[in-house]
Amino acid sequence: ENLDVAIEPSGGGTEALQQVIAGNADMALVAPAVILQSVAEGNDLVVPYPDKHGGLFSIVVPADSEVQRPEDLKGATVGITDFAGGEVPMDRAILGRAGLTVDQDVTLVTVGEGNPATLQALENGRIDAYGASWSDFIPLMGLGMELREVTYPELSGIPSEVLVTTGDYFAENVDVVERVGRAMAKASYFATQADDETLALMRELAPEDHQDTDLARLALGIWYDIADYPQDNGEYVFGQHDPAAW
């Protein structure tokens, strides 16, 4: 698409969206829950392209945990990556649906992204559950921990990651936004057609995350499930919104 793009990391979806609103970034990939909260606060935002249609965020427990459903988390300590993380609105939604109030029935504590320290926190009981994203759960699985989701299946239909920009930027740069969305669609289609080539590219871009080939292939399969690209007569339809899911 002949775009010169600078990709910048952020401390989570909330922080990324704040950078867009402040004019420090043109667009961001964030969770819809973060956007809805921001719109409710009066910000003018546009979502031109949904990237992942399935549930990225969830709450998990060790497979042998006594916790079987969200209601069982009463009195529990739930680890999160960061209070600015995109998982927090979803964690609150799951807990709220279970009739639980954060800081009253459930305690949220930051334990960082999925890593050996998070694994240790689950094993030694510092946290009873971990509310984060599958990008955090997969490394724990790679470290040998068996996990089980504790959520409501209907919440998994909420889009997990979408492209967002401000109304002003969209109005002034429609062509650029279209090209970004088209580039993302091309990349997504390539990934669905060429597993090995996709893994090779990912390994080249982030070798530290792809040292375990089997884990990387497992992660790619999970990401395909999360992407859940819509199809029409067997053909992928990228960038299609489902209003009901919002």
Would you give per-residue pLDDT tens digits along the chain (246 residues)? Answer: 999 999 998 877 889 999 999 999 999 999 888 898 899 999 999 999 999 888 888 999 999 999 999 999 999 999 999 887 778 888 998 999 999 999 999 999 999 999 999 999 999 999 999 999 988 999 999 889 999 999 988 776 678 889 999 999 999 999 999 999 999 999 999 999 999 999 999 999 989 878 888 888 888 888 888 888 889 998 999 998 888 777
Q: What angle do CA 86, 197, 145 make, to 5 degrees?
A: 45
Print the SS3 string covering 120-171: HHHHCCCCCEEEEEHHHHHHHHHCCCCEEECCCHHHHHCCCEEEEEEHHHHH
Q: What is the pLDDT at residue 125?
A: 95
Q: What is the pLDDT at residue 11?
A: 79
Q: What is the pLDDT at residue 31?
A: 85
Q: What is the pLDDT at residue 163?
A: 97
pTM of the model: 0.76
Please tell me the distance from the alpha carbon of residue 89 to that of residue 41, in angstroms, as a whole number.
15
Print the SS3 string covering 193-213: HCHHHHHHHHHHHCHHHCCCH
Q: What is the pLDDT at residue 142?
A: 87
Please tell me the distance from the alpha carbon of residue 72 to that of residue 106, in angstroms, as a whole number.
10
Q: What is the pLDDT at residue 242?
A: 82
Residues whose CB is less than 8 angstroms from the CB of residue 64 and which lie 6 or more positions away in sequence, other chains included: 146
Q: What is the pLDDT at residue 241?
A: 86
Beta bridge partners of 108: 78
55-84 burial, b if ≥16 CB within 10 A, otherwise e? Answer: bbbbbbbbeebebeebebbeebbbbbbbeb
Q: Specify the pairing of strand 57-62 against strand 147-149.
A: antiparallel
CB 98 within 8 A of CB 119: no
CB 11 within 8 A of CB 110: no
Q: What is the pLDDT at residue 174?
A: 97
Q: What is the pLDDT at residue 210?
A: 82
Please tell me the distance from the alpha carbon of residue 216 to that of residue 92, in angstroms, as a whole number.
30
Print the SS3 string covering 47-110: EEEEEECCCCEEEEEECCCCCCCHHHHCCCEEEECCCCCCHHHHHHHHHHHCCCCECCCEEEEE
